[in-house]
């Protein structure tokens, strides 16, 4: 009997609190798989955000710190300075890393702090009940933009992967998605790449993952996955925006 | 059913009936069952055992990681 797929060891065997069909669960599991494969689970420290992923420390069997809202990269910087040999990553949503914590995320990239940030971008504030986020698509209806987001009134969606890629301290910046098996494998490859770059001391590594929010988008999980595949990628093109080839 | 080796093992208590595995299956071997788990969801099940090609797409897509996939040894004639 050959094992094709089994639940990763680092992923705790508990039911997560995410809504049915939420892609957060896939990203958690991919991080757990990569930590297992690289044997880094004992050396990893995660920083949980405020948002839907606030309880991430219940699901991955590694060390965690829960940061104040938006301050995950600042806390990760402190951990990295105290323990330069551990793997430090932050797991944030778009409300945490791209709205209230934009300054921290940006200065992580500007200063080239040697940590990894995962940004789960689902274009909405999920935990608080579906308000408009900086990343909300134009024309998208949310509880605080009931007629759809209008560029004249609320401005344009924030593109984090491109913005972070422009900063000097960034070693890696990319955007991937989770809407089909091919993209899930691509995301896993990128997670492995950012962890390898961090262990080499390359600098700030940033991975934006386009996800879904079926509940607050008002769709079934299957429709939400299709929406991510057809609509989200128009505003948030997938790809690698910065990649340091050689690490000193 | 019990005498055949396992291909797709679904932990029905973890399943939240999101149907992502049903949609992603390339050979349409999965479906939502009539049973109810303790959370009140109808868990997914493998109903076309012979169609399953053990690709692992369902397990890879499952946000709950409720699915394990195994490839039984092939008996050479």
**Assembly ipTM:** 0.91
Between A80 and A247, residue with greater pLDDT: A80
Instruction: Count up the domains in chain B and report the number.
Output: 1
Please report, for the domain that includes residue B48, its CATH number.
3.30.70.20
CB-based contact A55:A48 (threshold 8 Å): yes
- Residue B76 is assigned to a structural domain of this protein: no
Fold of A24-243: Rossmann fold (3.40.50)
Residue-wise pLDDT for A151-164, tens only, equals 999 999 999 999 99
Label residue A42 by pLDDT band (50, 70, 90): very high
Residue-wise pLDDT for A193-245, tens only, equals 999 999 999 999 999 999 999 999 999 999 999 999 999 999 999 999 999 88
Residue of A9, A10, A20, A180 to mutate when probing chain B, most B C-beta within 10 A: A20
| pLDDT at B67 exceeding the cut of 70 | yes
Alpha carbon of residue A211 to chain centroid: 9
| pLDDT at A58 exceeding the cut of 70 | yes
Residue-wise pLDDT for A181-207, tens only, equals 999 999 999 999 999 999 999 999 999
Structural domain boundaries enclosing B36: 8-69
- Residue B75 is assigned to a structural domain of this protein: no
- Residue B45 is assigned to a structural domain of this protein: yes
Q: Are strands A87-93 and A116-121 parallel, antiparallel or unpaired?
A: parallel
The Cα A210–Cα A215 span in angstroms is 16
| Domain coordinates in residue numbering, chain A | 24-243
Q: What is the DSSP letter of A210?
A: E
Residue A167, strand partner residues: none
Inter-chain CB proximity B24 and A220 less than 8 Å: no
- Residue B1 is assigned to a structural domain of this protein: no
The closest of A115, A102, A133, A107 to A45, measured between CA atoms, is: A115
Token duo for residue A87: 């793997």
Q: How far is A115 from chain B (nearest CA, A)?
A: 26
CB-based contact A137:A155 (threshold 8 Å): no
Nearest CA in chain B to A15: B14
- Residue B40 is assigned to a structural domain of this protein: yes
Inter-chain CB proximity A5 and B18 less than 8 Å: no
pLDDT at A246: 73
| pLDDT at B2 exceeding the cut of 90 | no
CB-based contact A244:A203 (threshold 8 Å): yes
Inter-chain CB proximity B65 and A7 less than 8 Å: yes
The Cα A223–Cα A207 span in angstroms is 24
User: Tokens 């991510």 — which residue?
Assistant: A228
Q: How far is B69 from chain A (nearest CA, A)?
A: 5
CB-based contact A92:A120 (threshold 8 Å): yes
């Amino acid at each position: 009997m050959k094992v094709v797929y089994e639940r990763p060891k680092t992923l705790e065997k508990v039911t997560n609190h995410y809504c049915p069909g939420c892609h957060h669960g896939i990203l958690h599991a991919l991080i757990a798989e990569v930590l297992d494969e690289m044997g880094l689970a004992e050396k990893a420290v995660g920083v949980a955000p405020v948002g839907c992923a606030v309880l991430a420390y219940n699901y991955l069997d590694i060390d965690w710190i829960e940061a104040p809202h938006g301050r995950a990269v600042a806390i990760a910087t402190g951990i990295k300075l105290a323990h330069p040999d551990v793997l430090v990553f932050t797991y944030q949503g778009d409300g945490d890393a791209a709205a209230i914590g934009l300054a921290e995320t940006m200065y992580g990239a500007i200063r080239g702090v040697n940590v990894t940030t995962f940004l789960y971008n689902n274009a909405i504030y999920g935990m608080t009940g579906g308000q408009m986020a900086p990343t909300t698509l134009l024309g998208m209806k949310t509880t605080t933009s009931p007629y759809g987001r209008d560029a004249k009134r609320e401005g344009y969606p924030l593109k984090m992967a491109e913005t972070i890629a422009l900063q000097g301290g960034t070693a890696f910046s990319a955007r991937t998605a989770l809407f089909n098996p091919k993209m899930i494998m691509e995301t896993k490859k990128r997670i492995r790449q950012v962890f390898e770059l961090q262990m080499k001391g390359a600098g700030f590594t940033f991975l934006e993952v386009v996800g879904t929010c079926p509940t607050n988008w008002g769709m079934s999980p299957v429709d939400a996955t299709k929406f991510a595949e057809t609509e989200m990628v128009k505003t948030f093109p997938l790809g690698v925006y910065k990649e340091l080839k050689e690490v000193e | 059913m019990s005498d055949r080796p396992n291909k797709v093992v679904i932990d029905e208590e973890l399943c939240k009936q999101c149907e992502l595995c049903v949609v992603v299956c390339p050979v349409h071997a999965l479906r939502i069952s009539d049973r109810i788990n303790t959370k009140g969801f109808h868990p997914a099940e493998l109903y076309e055992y012979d169609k399953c090609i053990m690709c692992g797409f369902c397990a890879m897509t499952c946000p709950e990681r409720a699915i394990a996939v195994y490839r039984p040894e092939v008996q050479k004639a």
